[in-house]
Every structure is written in structure tokens, then in C-alpha cells.
Amino acid sequence: MATVTVRNLDDEVQRRLKERAAHHHRSMEAEARAILSAAVLDTGLTRSWLDAARDLRGDDLTLPTRSAPREVDLG
């Protein structure tokens, strides 16, 4: 196993990583490991999901013309 050191990590990124780790009941190190693994070990699941979503979203549908919004009298 290799060791990776991340320098100059933005404070906000560290805070959010800490929150995310707590949400998943693991350490910041374990959370960072999970995020990195998911990012580089593409199982094809994400790609197949995106392809399926593209096929289902109805790009071939004609959208109706929309009129301008009505004016509202608040007085």
C-alpha cells in the first residue's frame, strides 16, 4: 500500500470532508480513501447509468411554446 500526502488543502474542503466522514461513520482518512477509490476505480456503473438516463430523458420530445408570465397585482 502506498501513502499519499495532500498539502495545501483548502479549509472548507477539509471541513466538508470531516462532515462527510462523520456522516458515513468513518475517519477522514477512510473517507478520503473511499472518495479516491470511487473516482479512479470506475466499474462502469456510473457510465451505464448516465447512458440509460440519456436514453430515457426524452431529447426527441417537442416542448410546447411558453407564454410570458402573467402580471400579478399585489395591491
Q: How far apart are CA 34 and CA 9, in angstroms?
A: 17
Domain presence at residue 56: no
pLDDT at residue 61, as a whole number: 66
Give the domain extent around 17: 10-40
Please list the rounded mean pLDDT of every run of 10 residues in the chain (75 residues). Answer: 91 95 94 88 74 72 80 84
Domain presence at residue 17: yes
pLDDT at residue 48, as a whole number: 77
pLDDT at residue 33, as a whole number: 92
- pTM of the full structure: 0.55
Domain presence at residue 48: no
Domain count for the chain: 1
Domain presence at residue 28: yes
Domain presence at residue 69: no
Domain presence at residue 32: yes
Domain presence at residue 60: no
Residue spans of alpha helices (H) in 3-73? 11-23, 28-40, 45-56
Domain presence at residue 73: no
